[in-house]
């Protein structure tokens, strides 16, 4: 980033040019200058400008939030109009020679180490005396530009990433491999998600419908608010491994073994709750006797059956076939002459 009047420059290296890196670079630049300008004129890079238009360019939502937080207006340069950012184009060329060329023979083993070297060369570049007038970029900035900058907020801007997600039939949205509930009325609607390091905020038509603390650590965790559930689902929130095992015991021995196996097959026990709820629904649909038979047949195939195994047996009627085989007895008609009785021997 370059201050327009006297070309006071900020340079920092990043591993990528993604949204997070781009906004962090802007934040660090404003902190380097000690204030925020009234206008920021970026190039039309994809992470900053999502839709290029001569009259009304569309600013990335996260970048727009950042600019509003610091009181800046983002006015991107026009496409193929280098004069709109002539100071930047000139400073990039000089900084490339002064910094990148000067460090080209050195080896760095971390981005932190590289940026320390960049900062040192940048300091030399900004303090280098002008050739045709007194002072340097630093002294000119402090004397002529610094006072016109807006003061920075007391707190640094917290980066927020915007995503879109469709609410599933289980009234949850998937964000970074974890699930967050929303009121069930929004099932199948596309929602806007604002993600920070601490929160996950969910919006519909620019209205926030709920905010969750962000889940960190293990994946496939659920953050469920009972008020978001339909009435018939609310009682499921109180289920746990003990209650699932107790219920399975009332169905039969094989069902209990199958449920216990499902719960123990996951690293996090709660990951098996949905499968157990599914088995309970199979019991409602097919009955106790058929579910027990399906679990028994599934266990004859594998010691670790899952919900899909049991469901497929019930759909195909495999449990009925097994039952009919057990009930069949060999029919022997003793009237046939070739069947020899005990007297013959």
Tens of pLDDT, residues 185-235: 998 899 999 998 889 999 999 899 999 999 888 888 888 888 887 776 555
Does one domain contain both 206 and 244? no
Residue 34 domain-assigned?
A: yes
pLDDT confidence band for 277 (50 / 70 / 90):
confident
pLDDT (0 to 100) of residue 84? 61
Residue 344 domain-assigned?
A: no
Q: Quick one: average pLDDT of 133-157? A: 87
Does one domain contain both 76 and 94? yes
Does one domain contain both 32 and 114? yes
Residue 171 domain-assigned?
A: yes
Does one domain contain both 28 and 59? yes
pLDDT confidence band for 82 (50 / 70 / 90):
low
pLDDT confidence band for 15 (50 / 70 / 90):
confident
Length of the chain: 345
Residue in the structure block whose two tokens are 């184009």:
89
pLDDT (0 to 100) of residue 192? 93
Does one domain contain both 323 and 246? yes
Does one domain contain both 225 and 250? no
pLDDT digits (tens, 9 = 90+) for 148-172: 889 999 888 888 888 899 998 778 8
Alpha helices (H) in the chain, listed in sequence order: 19-33, 61-69, 86-95, 101-103, 111-127, 137-140, 241-251, 253-264, 273-286, 288-301, 307-316, 318-327
pLDDT (0 to 100) of residue 166? 92
Residue 340 domain-assigned?
A: no
Q: Quick one: average pLDDT of 5-20? A: 83
Distances (CA, A) of 291 to 165, 279, 294, 310: 36, 8, 5, 8
Does the pLDDT of residue 180 top 80, yes or no? Answer: yes
Residue 336 domain-assigned?
A: no
Does one domain contain both 280 and 205? no
Containing structural domain, residue 29: 19-148
CATH number of the domain to which 25 belongs: 3.30.420.10
Among 114, 148, 182, identify where a domain stops. 148
Does one domain contain both 165 and 263? no
pLDDT (0 to 100) of residue 323? 59
Torsion, Cα of 36, 40, 46, 50 (10° steps): 100
Is residue 76 within 8 A of residue 22, CB to CB? The reply is no
pLDDT (0 to 100) of residue 55? 72
pLDDT (0 to 100) of residue 259? 93
pLDDT (0 to 100) of residue 232? 62
Does one domain contain both 225 and 243? no
Residue 153 domain-assigned?
A: no
Among 104, 124, 148, identify where a domain stops. 148
Poorest-pLDDT segment among 20-24, 31-35, 76-80, 119-123: 76-80
164: phi then psi, degrees, rounded to nearest 5: -120, 145
Residue in the structure block whose two tokens are 């699930």:
179
Residue 2 domain-assigned?
A: no
pLDDT confidence band for 341 (50 / 70 / 90):
low
Does the pLDDT of residue 76 top 90, yes or no? Answer: no
13: phi then psi, degrees, rounded to nearest 5: -95, 140
Euclidean distance between CA atoms 57 and 26, whole angstroms: 19
Q: Quick one: average pLDDT of 55-65? A: 83
Residue 319 domain-assigned?
A: yes
pLDDT (0 to 100) of residue 209? 94
- For the entire predicted model, the pTM comes to 0.58
How many distinct structural domains can be found in the chain?
3
Does one domain contain both 143 and 23? yes
Most confident option among 236-245, 262-271, 292-301: 292-301
Does one domain contain both 223 and 243? no
Alpha helices (H) in 107-252, listed in sequence order: 111-127, 137-140, 241-251
pLDDT (0 to 100) of residue 210? 93
* CA nearest to 178, candidates 110, 224, 147, 209: 224
Does one domain contain both 187 and 287? no
């Amino acid at each position: 980033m370059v201050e327009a009047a006297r070309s006071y420059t900020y340079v920092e290296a990043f591993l990528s040019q993604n949204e997070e890196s781009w906004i962090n670079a802007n934040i660090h630049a404003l902190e380097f200058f000690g204030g925020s300008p009234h206008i920021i004129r970026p190039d039309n890079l994809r992470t900053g400008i999502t839709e290029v238009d001569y009259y009304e360019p569309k600013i990335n939502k996260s970048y727009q939030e950042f600019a509003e937080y610091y009181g800046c207006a983002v006015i991107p340069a026009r496409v193929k109009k280098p004069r709109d950012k002539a100071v930047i184009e000139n400073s990039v060329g000089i900084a490339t020679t002064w910094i990148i060329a000067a460090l080209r023979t050195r080896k760095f083993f971390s981005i932190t180490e590289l940026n320390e070297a960049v900062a040192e060369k940048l300091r030399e570049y900004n303090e280098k005396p002008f050739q045709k007038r007194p002072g340097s970029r630093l002294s000119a900035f402090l004397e002529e530009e610094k006072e016109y900058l807006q003061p920075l907020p007391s707190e640094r801007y917290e980066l927020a990433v915007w995503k879109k997600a469709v609410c599933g039939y289980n009234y949850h949205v998937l964000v970074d491999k974890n699930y967050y509930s929303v009121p069930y009325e929004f099932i199948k609607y596309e929602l806007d998600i604002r993600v920070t390091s601490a929160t996950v905020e969910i919006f519909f038509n620019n209205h926030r419908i709920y905010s969750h603390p962000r889940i960190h650590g293990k994946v496939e965790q659920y953050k469920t608010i009972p008020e978001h559930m339909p009435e018939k689902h609310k009682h499921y929130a109180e289920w746990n491994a003990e209650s699932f095992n107790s219920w399975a015991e009332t169905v039969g021995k094989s069902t209990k073994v199958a449920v216990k196996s499902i719960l123990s097959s996951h690293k996090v026990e709660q990951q098996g709750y949905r499968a157990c709820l599914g088995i309970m629904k199979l019991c409602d649909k097919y009955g106790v006797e058929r579910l027990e038979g399906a679990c028994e047949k599934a266990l004859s195939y594998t010691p670790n059956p899952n919900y899909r195994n049991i469901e497929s047996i019930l759909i195909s009627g495999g449990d009925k076939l097994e039952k009919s085989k057990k009930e069949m007895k060999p029919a022997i008609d003793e009237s046939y002459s070739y069947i020899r009785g005990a007297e013959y021997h």
